[in-house]
Chain A
Amino acid sequence: MLLLYFTLLVPFLFALLVPLLYRYMPRIHTGWFVLVVPTGIFIYMINLIPIIAKGEKLVNSVPWIPTLGINYSTYVDGLTLLFGLLISGIGALVVLYSIYYMSKQREALHNFYVYLLIFMGAMLGIAFSDNIFILYMFWELTSIASFLLIAYWYQRKQSRYGAQKSLIITVIGGLALLAGLILLSIMTNTFSIREMIEADQMIVKHQLFLPSMLLILLGAFTKSAQFPFHIWLPDAMEAPTPISAYLHSATMVKAGIYLVARFTPVFSGTIEWFWLVTGTGMITLLWGSFSAVKQNDLKAMLAFSTISQLGLIMCLLGIGSASLYASTAILAALFHLINHSTFKGCLFMVVGIVDHETGTRDIRRLGGLMNIMPITFTLMIIGSFSMAGLPPFNGFLSKELFFTGVLEAARLNIFHLETWGILLPILAWIASIFTFIYSMILVLKTFTGKYKPNKYEKKVHEAPLGMLISPIFLASLVILFFFFPNIISNNLLQPAMKAILPGLLEGGGFENNIKIWHGWTTEVFMTLGVAVVGMLLYISFPKWSGIYEYLPEKISFNYIYDRGLVGMEKLAAKITKTYMTGIVRDYLLYIFIFFVVVVGGSMVLLNNFTFNPSGNGPVSAYEVVLILVIIGAAVLVMLTKSRLTAVIGVGVIGFVVAMFFVIFRAPDLALTQLVVETVTVALFLLCFYHLPELGRETGGVGLRAANLIVSLGVGVLVTLLALTAQSNPLVDPISTFFENSYQLAGARNIVNAILVDFRGFDTMLEILVLSIAGLGVYSLIKLPLARRDNK
């Protein structure tokens, strides 16, 4: 168990060492050190194969936040192991390849390998985690590592654009995934995926079942570049080619596939899951292969091809969710998953070699390299023909299985397949034709034709041996898997199928034997048809390539993304500008309006205005007069155009309030108020000397009317609330306690006792407030940095 966790953490730990190795061992390419990591992990995983194939399951847990049930618990079954082998195996080959691809002199290798290792660790984490939050953590971490790797050459604008695009799309998916996982955890009351799978029967009827399915699928589709979220993948090709081969073809984009496979036991058997997964996969397959044909950049072509192949696998997983009837589909999906990694990895490396040696990836400039780069040419043939589904390569087998899968599905009579099912094999066949076409383009446009040396920036020659090792290795696997498919099938695919279809095992098992030749079946004729029609279309390509012109750019999803982003920012700026005026009067207006609406609204809705003057003293005539004076002075302040009058008005209000204190027999308060009032009026008058004339009120009648309504509203509301509160003393106040002030505090004046004893703490802090204000004014006058700077 310890070894397992160590294996999973090694990439992260080693990432810490990389900068040191880069700095202190500059003579050895850092990649050689890094190579040890995936190789070691791969060997460890190989050792697990027999254990898992026996049907054993490794379950472990390391606590992180045990109080909240968030632990790094791992669960190793066939599916996990399959991904583990893929991640470490392809990882080792990619690192080996990168040693020759990434120049030791020119590139910031430490960054490159740190990101790569973080990615590797995160990807392993996705496959091995059983806790949904740990899964989510690694899920986001792969997005981030991918973001950093795409922008590895961060000086380039296109790299930054691609990085940001991939991050936005995958993070949207990540958040959806998080929401979906939380919903699942609410339904099943567990954070463990394994326990969720065991609870699947209980939750099908739950109202959150469908939302959680949709959210999790959104996460999977964005990550696996399914239509219409595929648009980030072509732009991700700005990353160095080893990264494209590793993340954006063999592993990271398969995280979505993994997720769908992992949650198949939870969601399968429902019509929504079947059609969403199958349909999206099929559309992606078609659209990806169709778009790949029109690309001029080899890498872009491979990107669209990857999108389409991911669609194929996704589609098979969807069909396989109707598992009781169509188990071939799952076998096909898993087998193609492996095959795709081998031939696509090989193709990416080959394209990288072409790019590296010729300085271009544009098929309009390439051509005639067959004799100059014979090994590369051979590798390209193996990869492309396998992708096109031709024998004797592994792609042929999985393509045949794919056809079997869709044909089986077409014969079913559940989920409306009796009417719509026939579409599946037809669309699959059409998509395979396009796949065939671009596979031919890859080989023929690059290597055949006439060699024109003046089109290349440098002298072209075959790649160094080191760079060829990895693709040669992958190409040999492509052939090996064709002849011995059942080694893979028995040891890897079968345990993985058990993980995806646990129910099927109880129902008597399934067929997982892959045969090279079945006789003259429909599938064989379909393949033959693909080859013939594909070849004809390839030859006549110049005649019909015009259809790509008809696709208006404005409905492409890239266009929508770009304009959407710009438009979103513009709209956001517009919205923000309309209310964030920077004018304090507006802000106060919003606040008062809000105050009137919510406080006044609650007052009206809860119907709680009451006024009960019975407990109040009588109102005498001179009190009325004083009130009228206050009102008059307040109106005067608002209407006057002279500052002096306004100040006098404010002063009048203050002095009249002091009079009220006198009437209510609080002479000390009255005195205080008089002093304060006198000082402020004097200060105001002093300041006037420096102030400009009072400007005219700006704004039209409408604005002024609105201001009037709002200010009246606030005033009325505050008054009504005060009257109501005054009329509703629910409990006796605690103030009777203070009437004993002489016994308690030795003071006959209650107010004084409260100020300096009972609540002396308040007073002390208020003194502090005054001192700060004084110091503040002093600093404001003495420290005008702006004026000094201007001198």
Chain B
Amino acid sequence: MNNLVILPLLIPLLAGIFLVIFRQNILLQRWFSIVAIFSTGVVAAYLLQMVADDGIQTLAIGGWEAPFGIVLVIDMFSGLLILTTSIVSFGCILFAFNSIGLEREQFYFYPFMLFLITGVNGSFLTGDLFNLFVCFEVMLISSYVLISLGGTKVQLRESIKYVLINIMSSTMFLLGIAYLYAITGTLNMAHLSVRIAEVGQQGLLTTVAILFLVVFSLKAALFLYFWLPGSYAAPPTAIGAIFGALLTKVGIYALFRMFTLVFYHQPEITHLLLGVMAALTMLLGGIGAVSQWDIRKIIAYNVIIAVGFIVSGLAVFTSTAVAGGIYYLIHDMIVKALLFLLGGTIIGIAGTSKLKEMSGLIRNHPLLGWMFFITVLALAGIPPLSGFIGKVLVIKGTMEAEFYWLAVIGLLSSLMVLYSVMKIFVNGFWGETYLSKEQEKGTTSGLLFPCILLTMVSIGFGLGVEGITFYIDQAANGLMNPDIYIKAVLKSP
């Protein structure tokens, strides 16, 4: 029992509620939310070190022990994700200060962001399947509001699709929970794992597993990603960035958790299906990305490609590949947020998101240009930047397990990533400079600082990767050995 475990959820929740009351005080809104996120990050780091030293930390809420009550669990995997979430949202909220606009700020922008983070952190923390559903709901309802906040035409058009598809998938999620409870009689994930291991994952449970696979794939944009490019391109940059960085990752987290802890008995069916879906996601996402000439769309399709790449680490299901998947997941959260923020800044300056209508920005914006360039290289997994180690481990893992087709598509996808994003650099930053500083539609003032921050994190993650290998190893080890998790949660020998 460790009461601190609930803080990553509680801090943003209380801060959000507090800020709802002071709607008009923008300064308070800004600084209170940034402090809240910062302290969430500090707590997350502290908890992470505790997990490293003393093992998994749990909290049975209300004192009702697992499997009867709801348990919050922080293991290395979820701890790392919570910490990364804090870093990323810190950057995005900082970016929002100078870009989101006074109107949205007055209409609860910061509380909604904080509630979103509450839901995200809750999803990472919970050890109970139904509570995971509830945390998903908190996250989703906040995202519905954020995507439509401001009510511009394109926002409303895209939010209808987004809301419909997500409600549909939530319904499926609920169905899956009902079936699973009917069969196993429990909802606690560790307990589910124990019971399924006892009775064996026979045919019916595999079917239910596939139902969950469909549900989480919808959330993660794994193969079922049709809703993503439109809806992530619609809202303002700071919101798009946090969506791109966090929301699909929660789906990926759920896939990792469920298919390593609970449904790991028939990988020849479930994980193979994951592998096929991952391959198709990378391929189709890549095809989508290279075909676009609109910055927002290119970036959105890049979110999809990465989902495929991360999940292929899970699909292969060896400790090398899973570790690679975790490295890449963390890298992708940071660098995708960065990519959205940089893309948004470019669009702000040029006044358009169409690549064919912009040119030569590097003359007046060298810092922005070079940050973008570094981000491109990090995305493509060029060493020593942050994407490299994850890429190598996933590819090595897939090859060792003789999933050669998956390795080939994985490598191909990084080519498509490079091509599609370098297109932005070549067309947007190079070429004749049309716009003088005065003619530009927006400014970069205050926007570059959060980008610099995230760029530093990305570079540091790449160069100093040795410093976190210990943590990632432990996370992968935890995923590959469900017993560690089960023992910590159920406390029974």
Binding site for B on A (CB under 8 A): 63-68, 70, 133, 136-137, 140-141, 144, 151, 154-155, 157, 160, 163-164, 167-168, 171-172, 175-176, 178-179, 182-183, 185-186, 568-569, 572-573, 575-576, 579-580, 582, 584, 586-588, 590-591, 594-595, 598-599, 602-603, 606-608, 718, 721-722, 724-726, 728-735, 737-738, 757-762, 765-766, 768-769, 772-773, 775-776, 779-780, 782-787
The reply to whether B151 and A769 contact each other, CB–CB distance below 8 Å, is no
Return the 10 tightest CB-CB contacts between A and B, nearest first.
A733-B185, A776-B145, A608-B203, A606-B203, A572-B291, A137-B383, A573-B291, A154-B430, A725-B179, A725-B182
Q: Tell whether, in the assembled complex, residue A133 and residue B465 are in contact, meaning their CB atoms are under 8 Å apart.
A: no
The CA of A68 and the CA of B207, in the complex, are separated in Å by: 38
B226 contacts chain A at the CB level, 8 A cutoff: yes
- Chain A residues with Cβ below 8 Å from B226 are 579-580, 586-587, 590-591
Q: Judging by beta carbons under 8 Å apart, are A175 and B415 in contact?
A: yes
Contact yes or no, B207 A608, CB < 8 A: yes
B interface list, Cβ under 8 A from A:
13, 20, 61-62, 64, 67-70, 101, 103-104, 107-108, 111-112, 115, 118, 122, 130-131, 134-135, 137-138, 141-142, 144-145, 148-153, 160-161, 164-165, 168-169, 172, 175, 178-186, 191, 195, 198-199, 202-204, 206-208, 210-211, 213-214, 218, 223-224, 226-227, 229-230, 269, 273, 284, 287-288, 290-292, 360, 362, 377, 380, 382-384, 388-389, 392-393, 395-396, 399-400, 407-408, 411-412, 414-415, 418-419, 422, 426, 429-433, 465-466, 469-470, 473
Please pick, from A572, A757, A762, A780, the residue contacting B290 in the complex, using a CB distance under 8 A.
A572
A-side contacts of B426, CB under 8 Å: 151, 160, 163-164
> Of A171, A588, A784, which contacts B165 at CB under 8 A?
A588
The answer to whether A775 touches B384 (Cβ under 8 A) is: no
B145 / chain A contacts, CB cutoff of 8 Å: 772-773, 775-776, 779-780
Does B185 lie within 8 Å of A761, measured CB to CB? no
How far, in whole Å, are A586 and B415 apart by their CA atoms in the complex? 30
Instruction: Report whether B172 and A182 are in contact in the complex, using a CB–CB cutoff of 8 Å.
Output: no
Check A598 against B210 for contact (C-beta < 8 Å).
Answer: yes
Q: A182-B396, A590-B226 are in contact. Are A772 and B150 (CB under 8 A)?
A: no
Closest chain A residue, CB of each to CB of B283: A575
State how many angstroms separate the Cβ of A372 from the closest Cβ of chain B. Answer: 36
Is A186 within 8 A of B396, CB to CB? yes
Contact B389 A68 (CB under 8 A): yes
A598 neighbours in B (Cβ, 8 Å): 210, 213-214, 273
Question: Are the CB atoms of A758 and B62 closer together than 8 Å?
Answer: yes
Q: Which residue of A lies closest to B196 (CB)?
A: A730
Q: Given contacts A155-B432, A599-B207, A776-B145, are A729 and B182 in contact (CB under 8 A)?
A: yes
Q: Are A758 and B400 in contact (CB under 8 A)?
A: no
* Known A-B contacts A594-B214, A766-B134; A155 and B360 likewise in contact (beta carbons under 8 Å): yes
Contact of B141 among A175, A186, A769 (CB under 8 A): A769
Q: Is the CB of A721 within 8 A of B207?
A: yes
Asked if B179 contacts A731 (CB within 8 A), the reply is no
List of A residues within 8 angstroms of B153 by Cβ: 786
A63 to B464, CA, bound (A): 11
Q: A67-B473, A775-B20, A783-B107 are in contact. Are A735 and B185 (CB under 8 A)?
A: yes
Additional A-B contact list (19), CB under 8 Å, known A182-B392, A775-B111: A65-B465, A66-B466, A67-B473, A140-B382, A144-B377, A167-B418, A168-B415, A179-B411, A582-B230, A588-B164, A588-B165, A608-B203, A731-B185, A732-B185, A758-B62, A760-B61, A772-B138, A780-B151, A786-B153
**Docked complex Cα distance between A65 and B191 (Å):** 37
In contact, B466 and A65 (Cβ under 8 angstroms): yes
- Residues in A neighbouring B230, C-beta threshold 8 A: 582
Q: Are A733 and B186 within 8 A (Cβ)? A: yes
> What is the minimal beta-carbon distance from B135 to any residue of chain A, in angstroms?
7
Q: Shortest Cβ distance from B472 into chain A, in angstroms?
A: 9
Q: Is the CB of B195 within 8 A of A772?
A: no
Contact B207 A67 (CB under 8 A): no
A720 shortest CB reach to chain B, Å: 10
Instruction: Give Cα A735 to B185, complex, Å.
Output: 8
Cβ-defined contact, A137 with B415, below 8 A:
no
With A179-B407, A598-B214, A783-B151 as contacts: A729 and B183 at CB distance below 8 Å: yes
Question: Contacts of A568 on B, CB cut-off 8 Å?
Answer: 290
With beta carbons under 8 angstroms apart, the residue of B161, B195, B211, B396 that contacts A731 is: B195
Asked whether B151 lies within 8 Å of A167 as measured between CB atoms, the reply is no
A430 to chain B, nearest CB (A): 37
24 sample A-B contacts, Cβ–Cβ < 8 Å, listed by A number:
A140-B383, A151-B430, A155-B433, A171-B380, A185-B396, A569-B290, A579-B226, A584-B161, A603-B207, A725-B179, A730-B184, A731-B198, A732-B185, A734-B191, A758-B64, A759-B131, A762-B70, A762-B131, A765-B138, A772-B112, A773-B145, A780-B148, A785-B150, A785-B151
- CB neighbours (8 Å) of A595 from chain B are 172, 214
| B419 & A772 in contact (Cβ 8 Å cutoff) | no
In the bound complex, residues from chain A placing their C-beta under 8 Å from that of B68 are 734, 737-738, 758
Residues of A close to B388: CB separation below 8 A: 137
Q: Which residues of B contact A779 (CB under 8 A)?
A: 107-108, 145, 149
Known: A576-B287, A584-B160, A759-B69. A186 touches B400 (CB 8 A): yes
- In the complex, which residue of chain B has the Cβ closest to the Cβ of A66? B466
CA distance A575 to B283 in the complex (A): 11
Residues of B within 8 A of A758 (CB): 62, 64, 68-69
Residue of B nearest to A151 (CB): B430
Inter-chain contact B179/A721, CB cutoff 8 Å: yes
Least CB distance, A485 to chain B, in whole angstroms: 40
Is the Cβ of A65 less than 8 Å from the Cβ of B218? no
Q: Do B195 and A602 touch (CB < 8 A)?
A: no
Which residues of B lie under 8 Å from residue A606 when comparing CB positions?
A: 203-204, 206-207
The residue that A160 contacts in the complex, of B181, B204, B419, B430, with Cβ under 8 A, is B430
Chain B residues contacting A67 (CB-CB under 8 Å) are 466, 469-470, 473
